[in-house]
């Protein structure tokens, strides 16, 4: 079987985005994402509602991806899907759909780890975007995870440090919620931060050992700060929104950069890639660019559409697994493969 002309359909449904993509080898032909507005009013993802929305979205999203790619399902060589980590009820929708489709088309089914996909998204062929060389460091920063990973090859990854409590995206979203901003608040903090003074207010950084992170203290610090200031002036947030957001973002970016610098020092690896929803943040993007001149790092920031959850990143992992010669047909996911909410890297 020739693996030079591979069409892969990829499905991602681990959290609150229903996504499907079609890849031709390592190129994205279509990358469709249906978000779920239903969670906004609750200030966070409601798992049962997410699962129901995935069930409504999955068929139209897959249709749309195939239509945009101009690929017929009979042309597909394999179906890749996220098997974890994520919300169980959400994962099950994508998993069941992928299994049935692969079975119906009689083609391989490839299970993909969502966190591995955030890292390997850097290997999607895109004009103007370099691919990292092995070994490199990857920092995955999202609403569910915060990890620093050493990447020695496509499938050899070692977690060097991770959050002990909240993920960095949660720190953004929960701080935003305290300030009265809608969910997800990360992009809004980013937007206001760009207009404010990052040194207007000071939030202490957590003291956590080695390369691990902790963000729950920051959320509490923001809450106490808010309560104190609002007691003195009820309009405090309206008057100072930009400065507050800039100061929170500055603190978070500093926490991330401090750990990255430590990881570079410990490993001697100066190629640094980021991935996950928070890698869309303008503050972390700028800090990484600055590190190129300041410390001589080579940094990799994914194309915007591959930062937040998407299926193209699942597709590239599917493609890499499919074309690895050592991977025998029996090593593809069989239909017994289960969704795993706590799947490790
Ligand atoms: O990777 P992702 O789409 O989903 C998870 O796997 O969690 O990440 C979503 C997270 C949310 O917490 C969202 O607020 C955050 O990414 N996010 C941002 C920005 N864009 C998305 N946080 C800060 N600044 C942004 N520009
Ligand atoms: Zn994600």
Tens digits of per-residue pLDDT, 29-64? 999 998 878 777 777 788 878 788 888 999 999 999
CATH code for position 28: 3.30.420.40
Is the domain of 140 the same as that of 269? yes
300: exposed, middle or buried (Cβ count in 10 Å: 0-12, 13-18, 19+): buried
Is the domain of 173 the same as that of 266? yes
Show the domain range for 260.
136-301
Q: Which atom of ligand 1 is nearest to the CA of 168?
A: 12
The pLDDT assigned to 329 comes to: 53
Is the domain of 111 the same as that of 16? yes
Higher pLDDT: 341 or 10? It is 10
Is the domain of 197 the same as that of 294? yes
Tens digits of per-residue pLDDT, 252-284? 999 999 999 999 999 999 999 999 999 999 999
The Cα 324–Cα 335 span in angstroms is 21
Tens digits of per-residue pLDDT, 279-289? 999 999 999 99
Is the domain of 166 the same as that of 266? yes
| 334 within domain boundaries | no
The pLDDT assigned to 332 comes to: 63
Is the domain of 225 the same as that of 161? yes
Is the domain of 156 the same as that of 87? no
| 47 within domain boundaries | yes
The pLDDT assigned to 47 comes to: 85
Other beta carbons within 10 angstroms of residue 134's beta carbon come to 12
Rounded to the nearest 5°, which phi and psi values hold at 205? -90, 145
The Cα 23–Cα 115 span in angstroms is 19
Residue 281 annotated in ligand binding: yes
Whether the pLDDT of residue 316 is over 60: the answer is yes
Report whether residue 84 contacts ligand 1, using a CB cutoff of 6 Å: no
- How many domains, in total, are found in the chain? 2
Is the domain of 113 the same as that of 144? no
SS3 (DSSP) at 265: helix
**In the chain, pLDDT over 90 holds for what percent of residues?**
80
User: Ligand 2 (ion): which residues have CB within 5 A?
Assistant: 142, 309
pTM, whole model, 2 decimals?
0.93
The pLDDT assigned to 15 comes to: 82
Cα torsion through 237, 220, 160, 90, rounded to 10: -80
Report whether residue 310 contacts ligand 1, using a CB cutoff of 6 Å: no
């Amino acid at each position: 079987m020739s693996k030079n002309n591979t069409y892969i359909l990829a499905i991602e449904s681990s959290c609150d985005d229903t996504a499907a993509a079609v890849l031709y080898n390592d190129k994205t032909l279509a990358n469709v994402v249906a978000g779920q507005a239903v969670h906004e009013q609750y200030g966070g993802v409601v798992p049962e509602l997410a699962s129901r929305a995935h069930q409504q979205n999955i068929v139209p999203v897959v249709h749309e991806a195939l239509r945009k790619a101009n690929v017929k399902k009979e042309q597909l060589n394999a179906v890749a899907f996220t098997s974890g980590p994520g919300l169980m009820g959400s994962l099950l929708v994508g998993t069941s759909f992928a299994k049935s489709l692969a079975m119906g088309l009689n083609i391989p089914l490839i299970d993909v780890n969502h966190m591995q996909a955030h890292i390997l998204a850097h290997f999607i062929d895109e004009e103007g975007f370099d691919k990292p060389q092995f070994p490199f460091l990857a920092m995955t920063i999202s609403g569910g995870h915060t990890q620093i990973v050493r990447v020695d090859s496509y499938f050899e990854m070692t977690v060097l440090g991770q959050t002990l409590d909240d993920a960095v995206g949660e720190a953004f979203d929960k701080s935003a919620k305290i300030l009265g901003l809608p969910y997800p608040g990360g992009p809004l903090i980013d937007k206001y931060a760009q207009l404010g003074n990052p040194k207007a207010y000071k939030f202490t950084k957590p003291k956590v050992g080695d390369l691990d992170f902790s963000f729950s203290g920051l959320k509490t610090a923001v809450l106490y700060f808010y309560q104190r200031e609002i007691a003195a002036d009820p309009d405090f947030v309206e008057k100072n929104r930009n400065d507050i957001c800039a100061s929170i973002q500055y603190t978070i970016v500093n926490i991330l950069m401090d750990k990255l610098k430590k990881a570079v020092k410990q490993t001697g690896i100066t190629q640094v890639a980021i991935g996950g929803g928070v890698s869309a943040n303008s503050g972390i993007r700028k800090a990484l660019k600055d590190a190129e001149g300041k410390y001589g790092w080579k940094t990799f920031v994914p194309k915007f559409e591959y930062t937040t959850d998407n299926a193209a990143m699942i597709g590239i992992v599917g493609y890499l697994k499919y074309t690895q010669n050592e991977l025998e047909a029996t090593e593809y996911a069989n239909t017994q493969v289960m969704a795993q909410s706590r799947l490790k890297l």
